[in-house]
Amino acid sequence: MRWLALIALLPTGVAAQETPRVLSLGGAVTEIVYALGAGEALVGRDQTSTYPAQAEALPDVGYVRRLSPEGILSVEPTLILAEAGAGPVETVTLMEGAGVPWVTIPGGYDADTVPAKVNAVANALGLQEQGDALAAELAQQLADAQAATPDQPLKVMFVMSLQAGRVMAAGQDTAANGMITLAGAQNAITSFDGYKQLTDEAILTAAPDVILMMARAGEHAVTNADLRAHPALGATPAAQNEAVIRMDGMYLLGFGPRTPEAIRDLSARLSALQPEAG
């Protein structure tokens, strides 16, 4: 009953409105909306949508995978653009039942992902011409970034978190694996898909040359000293040589319009860690 009361707050005649009230859920989706020149249509965003800077002025409806109907309905959207995996399912079902169009933008972890996302967002907004132009531009930038990436046989371990001695790392079929590959390097973890906790034995077997992490502050920050103090990570070539790269999470893993730049950035940092020949 509480949800029904909230649904009643939605604007009437939303289908006939010429200018949609767009709620963007997912950092890359929000970046694409702005890149298409449609930022003025946004009435809300999720916690991962922090770029460009003006997005932070929008009402925040919560974390993209833990959304509540109350948070979504508080901004009275007439169109919801959501990254794959946004939810939970119960919230998505309720919004669809309330007649609010919910468009899921496809995900993926390769060079084709970014243009596909752009076209999906543009089509949902009725901006096909702008979408075609932006998708083509980004496809060329991605091709140029990959062409400029030297072969880098370095083994890279992406560490998602290090808490209470437990290492959560990225395996195959992840955004981290996709970016490591696009930058010309190798994922040190090949034995599983997704993100999982590693045993000390698995860390020592992987023996990464480089540790890649998201740049974090406060209680979530992991210093080089923390890495060296870990019984297994501290024994890896990466920790011993302080070969650690930290990058903004959405910039690195979002697969949005900044991905070509992120590929070049990561590749350059990896190249700087290559041992000198001879």
Q: For 31-36, what is the mean pLDDT?
A: 98
Q: For 13-27, what is the mean pLDDT?
A: 75
Left (φ > 0), alpha (ψ -120 to 50) or beta: where does 173 sit?
left
Burial of 223 (0-12, 13-18, 19+ CB in 10 A): exposed
Q: Is the pLDDT reported for residue 268 higher than 80?
A: yes
Please give the pLDDT value at position 263.
98
Q: Is the pLDDT reported for residue 60 higher than 90?
A: yes
- Domain final position from 92, 127, 145: 145
Q: Domain residues for 196? A: 155-272
Q: For 256-262, what is the mean pLDDT?
A: 98
Q: Is the pLDDT reported for residue 278 higher than 70?
A: no
pLDDT band at 66 (very low <50, low <70, confident <90, very high): very high
Please give the pLDDT value at position 14.
39
Share of the chain above pLDDT 70, in %: 92
Spatial separation of the C-alpha atoms in residues 170 and 190, rounded to whole Å: 9
Q: How many domains does the chain have?
A: 2
CATH of the domain at 212: 3.40.50.1980
Please give the pLDDT value at position 18.
64
- Are residues 253 and 202 both part of a single domain? yes
pLDDT band at 195 (very low <50, low <70, confident <90, very high): very high
Q: Is the pLDDT reported for residue 1 higher than 90?
A: no
pLDDT band at 242 (very low <50, low <70, confident <90, very high): very high
Burial of 11 (0-12, 13-18, 19+ CB in 10 A): exposed
- Amino acid identity of residue 262, one-letter, is A
Please give the pLDDT value at position 10.
53
- Are residues 9 and 129 both part of a single domain? yes
Strand 195-198 with 102-105, pairing: unpaired
Rounded to the nearest integer, the mean pLDDT of the chain is: 92
| DSSP annotation of 192 | -
- Are residues 245 and 266 both part of a single domain? yes
Three-class DSSP category at 213: strand
Measured CA to CA in angstroms, residue 207 lies from 123, 127, 195, 217, 271 at distances of 45, 47, 18, 26, 18
Least confident of 2-6, 11-15, 149-153, 250-254: 11-15
pLDDT band at 105 (very low <50, low <70, confident <90, very high): very high
Please give the pLDDT value at position 13.
39
Helix H or strand E segment including 41: none
pLDDT single digits (tens) 110-147: 999 999 999 999 999 999 999 999 999 999 999 999 99
Q: Name the token pair of 219.
A: 């209680």
Three-class DSSP category at 68: coil
Spatial separation of the C-alpha atoms in residues 155 and 117, rounded to whole Å: 29
What are φ and ψ of residue 167, in 5° steps? -100, 120
- Are residues 121 and 167 both part of a single domain? no
Q: Is the pLDDT reported for residue 9 higher than 70?
A: no
Share of the chain above pLDDT 90, in %: 84
In a domain, 195, yes or no: yes
Spatial separation of the C-alpha atoms in residues 112 and 104, rounded to whole Å: 17
- Domain final position from 84, 119, 145: 145
